[in-house]
């Protein structure tokens, strides 16, 4: 469990908070690139780290992420005219470029220099890996973009979805590095059929590794801290002299790589909208070839997403995607399915995770937890990110933020006779992209 003070430190990411400062040292995805499809297209409303922003692509194709509110009378720039390399407020015509500079102020006399004194908040934005990324930290510390493999493969080799979830970022993060829940939450009763249709393969038949996940519900975990966060091995077995290993990557401040026995593989990143909502970025990719139409469709269709204008708890609106399975409809749980087919009565693995992490409340009260040995990776991740946050308060910058090459890693899903985690990595595991 955590103290009340540590739980607040862990979960608060707004402006001026220690955890918010840590997040602001990293590039973060804020949109899919396809949501800004062309120069002068419609602007999009976003909220990131409790800041309301508008994203737009200007006439030259450059992306801007600027304050949602015009500094004149605070009208929303979402309603603005995207024209001639700037976003123009329709209230009085004030116009801002991607750098936040006011470049036209037609409501003032022609001889006035007032526009030269007005600037709006703006953050550097770049298109990369089929996403729009933003950097919100000190300008003098702006790093290069993180070198995730999924972001560096050709566009045809990956598919990315984004969608809102109704919880703090750390709840989703912890669910991702909790290997033991696979044996329960995602289990099925007939091991010849995978009722949640794993998006990694699209195959309804369980591979041997999935069967072993369901069979051994208490894996042995070994955690190894790294420059980018941690990697941990979840060992199941032995069976017939072999062990089933799932080696998961957790990367600061909130990215994952999830083990899979075959391509496509992937993971997720959880970008805080505010302390009670996140936008999840889910990436599925194949480093060796383009995705097939069927693989691409499975990755998208299994999420059951719809594009919405989502109203947050404070009444503000953002533009995002949302699953049709949501808290207010109990994720469309099917109790007959739960009795006869799978453990949850919810057909898809990601929605099963939603139901669990969202049901904890928007911010989980970790002072009331009772953690066990299966929570070793979660405990380690909390320790690492809290230490990085406190170090930053003392002036020590996070190493991973300024060293994009540390993200040259993959997850590992393997059956091996090797029972020692370190030896397993030496023999089979964590190679850099340069070695692949």
More confident residue, 402 or 210: 402
Residue 194 has pLDDT above 60, yes or no: no
Distances (CA, A) of 11 to 34, 169, 365: 30, 7, 10
Work out the mean pLDDT of the chain and round it to a whole number.
91
Domains and CATH numbers, the chain: 27-141 (2.102.10.10), 149-435 (3.90.380)
Residue 270 has pLDDT above 80, yes or no: yes
Residue 200 has pLDDT above 60, yes or no: no
Mean pLDDT of 115-130: 97
Cα–Cα distance, 39 to 235 (Å, whole number): 50
The residue to which tokens 């969202």 are assigned: 358
**217: three-class secondary structure by DSSP:** coil
Nearest to 352 by CA among 150, 198, 193: 198
Residue 198 has pLDDT above 70, yes or no: no
Looking at residue 215, its pLDDT comes to: 58
pTM of this structure: 0.92
What is the tens place of the pLDDT at every residue in 272-327?
999 999 999 999 999 999 999 999 998 998 889 999 999 999 999 999 999 999 99
Angle between helices 4-11 and 376-393 (to 10 degrees): 80
């Amino acid at each position: 469990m955590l103290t009340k003070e540590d739980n607040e430190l862990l979960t608060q990411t707004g402006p001026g908070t220690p955890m918010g400062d840590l997040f602001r040292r990293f590039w973060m995805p804020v949109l899919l690139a396809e949501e800004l499809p062309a120069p002068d297209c419609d602007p999009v409303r976003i909220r990131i780290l409790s800041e309301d922003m508008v994203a737009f692509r200007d006439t030259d194709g450059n992306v801007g992420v600027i304050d949602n509110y015009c500094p004149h009378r605070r009208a929303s720039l979402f309603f603005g005219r995207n024209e001639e390399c700037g976003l123009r407020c329709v209230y009085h015509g004030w116009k801002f470029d991607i750098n936040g500079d006011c470049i036209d102020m037609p409501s003032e006399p022609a001889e006035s220099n007032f526009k030269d004194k007005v600037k709006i908040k703006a953050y550097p934005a770049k298109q990369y890996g089929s996403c729009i990324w933003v950097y919100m930290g000190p300008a003098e510390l702006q790093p290069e973009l993180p070198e995730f493999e999924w972001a560096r493969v050709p566009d045809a080799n990956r598919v990315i979805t984004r969608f809102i979830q109704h919880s703090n970022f750390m709840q989703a993060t912890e669910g991702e590095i909790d290997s033991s829940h696979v044996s329960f939450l995602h289990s099925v009763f007939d091991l010849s059929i995978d009722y949640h249709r794993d998006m990694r393969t699209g195959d309804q038949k369980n591979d041997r590794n999935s069967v072993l996940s369901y069979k051994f519900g208490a894996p042995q975990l070994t955690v190894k801290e790294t420059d980018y966060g941690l990697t941990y091995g979840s060992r199941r077995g032995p069976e017939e002299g072999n062990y089933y290993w799932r080696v998961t990557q957790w990367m600061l401040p909130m990215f994952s790589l999830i083990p899979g026995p075959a391509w496509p593989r992937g993971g997720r990143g959880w970008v805080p909208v505010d302390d009670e909502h996140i936008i999840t970025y889910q990436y599925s990719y194949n480093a060796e070839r383009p995705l097939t139409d069927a693989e691409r469709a499975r990755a998208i269709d299994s999420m059951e997403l719809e594009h919405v204008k989502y109203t947050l708890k404070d009444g503000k609106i953002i533009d995002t995607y949302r699953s049709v399975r949501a808290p207010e409809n109990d994720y469309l749980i099917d109790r007959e399915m739960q009795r006869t087919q799978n453990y949850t009565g919810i057909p898809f693995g990601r929605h099963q995770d939603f139901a669990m992490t969202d049901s904890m409340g928007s911010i989980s009260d970790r002072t009331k937890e009772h953690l066990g040995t299966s929570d070793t990776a979660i405990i380690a991740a909390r320790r690492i990110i809290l230490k990085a946050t406190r170090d930053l308060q003392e002036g020590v910058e996070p190493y991973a933020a300024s060293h994009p090459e540390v993200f040259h890693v993959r997850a590992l899903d393997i059956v091996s006779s090797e029972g020692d985690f370190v030896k397993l990595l030496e023999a089979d595991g964590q190679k850099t992209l340069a070695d692949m």
